Structure 1
Amino acid sequence: MYALNGWLKAVRADGLVLVRTRVAGPWGFSVQQRDAVVFHFVAEGRAFVRQAGVDVMELQAGALVLFPRGGAHEVAYSARGKSVSLETFLAKRDGVVDRDPKAVTLICGQFDMDRHLALPALRALPRAVLLHAGMEPGCSALGDTLRMLRNEVETPNFGNQIVVRNLLSSLFVYFMRDWAGAASLTAKDWFSAVRSPHLARVLARMHEAPERTWTLEELAGEAGLSRAAFARHFSDLVGEPPHSYLTRWRMGIAAQLLEETDQRLSEIASRVGYQSEFSFSRAFKLARGVSPIFYRRSMASRSKTGASAAQL
């Protein structure tokens, strides 16, 4: 699954813990739609998750549930338990440890990422994904990571934030890797594409060299298929035509360069396969809704606001 490496490297899910608590008695909170992948991990006890149009999920100890598209949902002590807003719950319960032997230990958070870049993979996932990682040491890489995550958020020590961030990044990689490995080649989605002998190489080449002027014939040649067969096969599995996916990838890489570097637009244009600053700017605005200059300024402003809040 070489194609997954480049994707994970570029997407770079940035994890954040929202809730860490040990709570007993009637409790519950609701999570509104978020522009992030939301997760809940039950380290001890059990909890119930409700989402409109989906059967209620019971989470036993060791269970991890993810909402890839950040859909609205509720988490509670029972299948019909009342809930308050997440903000209200956080104000009362975050970091609080209840000594009741029947208490539930919860760690909840989210993964922030460039959703434009991640969309083909995220839309291939169910609205909610329930995993049973297990809590026994050595049971699975996912389970071991969750155990270490619990230890870090429950045991104050220097460097906790750095370790938690790295563990969350690993958690996302393990999840994506396990899901891709279990995907059926007949599923006709992005995960089956990264396992397809015809399309995996094409995706990897797009990820590696977005600056190259790829033609449909060249991409078909990488796949070892005729032009028509390749275009049809790619669209069926990935969910969009080859050059639409390539443009999405290019704009995602460009967005990162705009946010993280001071490179000129002409340099970024060249890095993502555009011959001129004008053609790049037009493509970026069409894909992202704003010009590259406006995007860079808005990201810089957001970074300053976040840094100021962190100092308070």
Structure 2
Amino acid sequence: MLDRLSKPSRLDTSDPPGARDTLTRILLGLRLEGVEYGRCLLRPPWAVAFPAQRSARFHFVARGGGWLRTQAADWVRLNAGDAVLLPRGSFHVLASAPDVPAVDIHSLAHVSLSDNIYLVQGDAPAGDSADKARDTAPPDVLFCGSLRFNLDPLHPLMAMMPEVMRAGDLAQRDPTVPALLEAMEREVALDRLGACGILARLADVLAASIIRAWVECGCSDSTGWIAALRCPKVGKVLAAIHAEPERDWTVPMLAELMSASRSSFAEAFTRTVGESPAKYVAKVKMFQARRWITQDGMRIAAVANRLGYDSEASFSRAFKRIIGQPPSAARAEHVQARGTVRVQDGRRELA
């Protein structure tokens, strides 16, 4: 159930400075880019299925209400003013009632309002004259979006996030969250010119605030990556690796940072982080490599050289082993993104 997601207490102020500084740097670098948003007008009974995707999903219930179900959890009620973030974009269903058959979101009518912002409409099946009252009732209004993180999907922070993050669970711990929810509700209520665009920007900020509140309030487990950051010695090593992923880190160098022998360092790191130093360093390098390729458009050979690989072939093998696909696939993502249409200076043109 969603109520389990954010129960732990706030990040302990006794954490070593290195842990807090590393988390701060990661949060400062966290960016969410709105891929597309839709204002959904849905007349009950309705049910919409959202297929799994790499981008995160965000939903804000502007008017009415509904139910949310994922593959891992049963139906949960959402009321007006509720917002949820699915950071890994897993399959889920939103419905006016749990027993309504779902249709795919892409099967509903989409009308473009502006660049990457759509009006999505779905009406209940036509009924007889007894259903006229229902047919003329105001529709439920949801604001749904797809967002892309600048962190790699395999990044430890992303891997630790729950399947669903509910804003209401974090509202009492972070005053930013209810303020943003109230601002979104006002925009919907006033229905002013440009409301969809403003809602999209507010959604970006709210999603980032949900994640920040979860990191600060919901990551007090005694094991795992956050616990490793809180370890005074191992946290210092993790901070160094993430600060300079392109550096040719070796076990002796990292052991020296922790002021320990190579054997004791390797044992402590593996016990706390859950994997060997060499494997962790390789993963962080590949996270950075995919970002350089997909977002910055760096050539594969240049990335391999920057990360210290002897050849493009050896880099490609390491990339595929860790990421699960060759770097050429990441390069294709960048090329495809550049080919999307955007609005600039009043004209639609290729980016």
More helix by share: 1
In the alignment, the residues of structure 2 paired with residue 216 and residue 166 of structure 1 have an alpha-carbon distance, to the nearest angstrom, of 44
Match of 1:107, SS? strand
Contact 2:37–2:200 (Cα < 8 Å) also in 1: no
In the alignment, the residues of structure 2 paired with residue 26 and residue 59 of structure 1 have an alpha-carbon distance, to the nearest angstrom, of 15
Match of 1:33, SS? coil
CA positional deviation for 1:57: 1.1
Rg bigger for which structure? Answer: 2
Aligned: 1:283 with 2:318: yes
Question: What amino acid sits opposite 2:119 in the alignment?
Answer: D
Question: What amino acid sits opposite 1:157 in the alignment?
Answer: G
Match of 1:54, SS? coil
Contact 1:14–1:112 (Cα < 8 Å) also in 2: yes
In the alignment, the residues of structure 1 paired with residue 63 and residue 311 of structure 2 have an alpha-carbon distance, to the nearest angstrom, of 56
**What is the 5 A alignment of 1:185-204?**
185-204=220-239
Aligned: 1:157 with 2:212: no
Aligned: 1:216 with 2:251: yes
In the alignment, the residues of structure 2 paired with residue 272 and residue 173 of structure 1 have an alpha-carbon distance, to the nearest angstrom, of 30
Aligned: 1:36 with 2:72: no
Q: Which residue of 2 aligns with 1:253?
A: 288
**Cα gap change, 1:91 to 1:259, in 2 (>3 Å):** closer
Q: Which residue of 2 aligns with 1:46?
A: 65
Q: Percent identity?
A: 28
Q: Which residue of 2 aligns with 1:58?
A: 77
Q: Which residue of 1 aligns with 2:162?
A: 126
Question: What amino acid sits opposite 1:75 in the alignment?
Answer: L
Aligned: 1:21 with 2:40: yes
Give the count of matched residue pairs. 307
Cα-to-partner distance string for 1:146-184 (whole Å, 9 max, x where unaligned): 4445667854439x75x6665444334322221111235
Choose from 268, 277, 293 the match for 1:242. 277
In the alignment, the residues of structure 2 paired with residue 224 and residue 175 of structure 1 have an alpha-carbon distance, to the nearest angstrom, of 37
Question: What amino acid sits opposite 1:188 in the alignment?
Answer: T
Question: What amino acid sits opposite 1:197 in the alignment?
Answer: P
Contact 2:342–2:349 (Cα < 8 Å) also in 1: yes
In the alignment, the residues of structure 2 paired with residue 28 and residue 99 of structure 1 have an alpha-carbon distance, to the nearest angstrom, of 19
Q: TM-score, normalised by structure 2?
A: 0.70
Contact 1:114–1:252 (Cα < 8 Å) also in 2: no
CA positional deviation for 1:31: 1.0
CA positional deviation for 1:209: 0.7
CA positional deviation for 1:143: 2.9
In the alignment, the residues of structure 2 paired with residue 166 and residue 272 of structure 1 have an alpha-carbon distance, to the nearest angstrom, of 35
Question: What amino acid sits opposite 1:271 in the alignment?
Answer: R
**What is the 5 A alignment of 1:63-212?**
63-91=82-110, 94=119, 100=137, 103-113=139-149, 116-132=152-168, 140-148=175-183, 155-157=192-194, 161=197, 167-212=202-247
- Where structure 2 has 5 or more consecutive residues not aligned to the other structure, the ranges are 1-19, 112-117, 123-134
In the alignment, the residues of structure 1 paired with residue 215 and residue 207 of structure 2 have an alpha-carbon distance, to the nearest angstrom, of 12
Q: Which residue of 2 aligns with 1:272?
A: 307
Contact 2:50–2:104 (Cα < 8 Å) also in 1: yes
Q: TM-score, normalised by structure 1?
A: 0.77
Choose from 340, 343, 346 the match for 1:306. 340
CA positional deviation for 1:290: 5.2
Range 87-96 or range 27-36, more displaced: 87-96
Contact 1:22–1:105 (Cα < 8 Å) also in 2: yes
CA positional deviation for 1:193: 3.3
- Where structure 1 has 5 or more consecutive residues not aligned to the other structure, the ranges are none
In the alignment, the residues of structure 1 paired with residue 169 and residue 23 of structure 2 have an alpha-carbon distance, to the nearest angstrom, of 22
Contact 2:58–2:86 (Cα < 8 Å) also in 1: yes
**Cα gap change, 1:2 to 1:149, in 2 (>3 Å):** farther
Question: What amino acid sits opposite 1:240 in the alignment?
Answer: E
Contact 1:16–1:110 (Cα < 8 Å) also in 2: yes
In the alignment, the residues of structure 2 paired with residue 34 and residue 142 of structure 1 have an alpha-carbon distance, to the nearest angstrom, of 25
Q: CA RMSD in A?
A: 4.0
